[in-house]
């Protein structure tokens, strides 16, 4: 009987440790603070690198408006990734990122940078972005 109790304790402690490891992995998927995201974006802008871009994309997909903004700003410099850049910047702006709102409002005011010359399709989004409450 004593052998069974020792085995039970070992199995139970092993299951608890596995649970703790799973919890630690879930904690890694939490949105990082803005300075961390901006540091990764700065590294990507200066040195390039697929790993940094992949990490920013993961954070943006998890809902980080700062990651979406930084990735959108990097993509806006590449004409082939313009649509993806605008999608990411709009996502960040709608999440309350003030830098994205400012960037997009500047772009939307200038009809020369828009796909349609009169800018009528962008006007409702511009109004929505500039009049939403900002997070402090």
pLDDT digits (tens, 9 = 90+) for 87-119: 999 999 888 888 888 888 888 777 444 455 454
Residue-wise DSSP of 8-48: HHHHHHHHHHHHHHHHHHHHHTSPPPHHHHHHHHHHHHHH-
Domain residue extents for the chain: 1-30, 31-131
pLDDT digits (tens, 9 = 90+) for 75-86: 988 889 989 999
> Model pTM?
0.62
What percentage of the chain has pLDDT greater than the value 90?
Answer: 21
Where b means 16+ CB within 10 Å and e means fewer, 51-84 reads ebbebbeebbeeebbbbbbbbbbbbbeeeebeee
3-state secondary structure of 115: coil
* H/E run at residue 73: helix 65-75
Q: Which residues contact 81 (CB under 8 A, 6 or more apart)?
A: 75
pLDDT at 45 over 90: no
């Amino acid at each position: 009987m004593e052998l069974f109790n020792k085995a039970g304790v070992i199995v139970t402690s092993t299951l608890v440790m596995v649970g703790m490891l799973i919890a630690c992995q879930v904690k890694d998927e939490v949105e990082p603070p803005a300075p961390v995201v901006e540091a990764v974006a700065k590294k990507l802008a200066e040195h390039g690198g697929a790993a940094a871009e992949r990490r920013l994309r993961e954070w943006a997909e998890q809902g980080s408006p700062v990651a979406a903004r930084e990735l959108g700003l990097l993509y806006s410099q590449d004409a082939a990734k313009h649509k993806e850049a605008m999608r990411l910047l709009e996502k960040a702006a709608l999440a309350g990122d003030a830098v994205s709102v400012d960037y997009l409002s500047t772009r939307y005011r200038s009809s020369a940078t828009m796909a349609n010359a009169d800018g009528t399709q962008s006007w409702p989004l511009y109004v929505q972005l500039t009049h939403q409450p900002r997070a402090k």
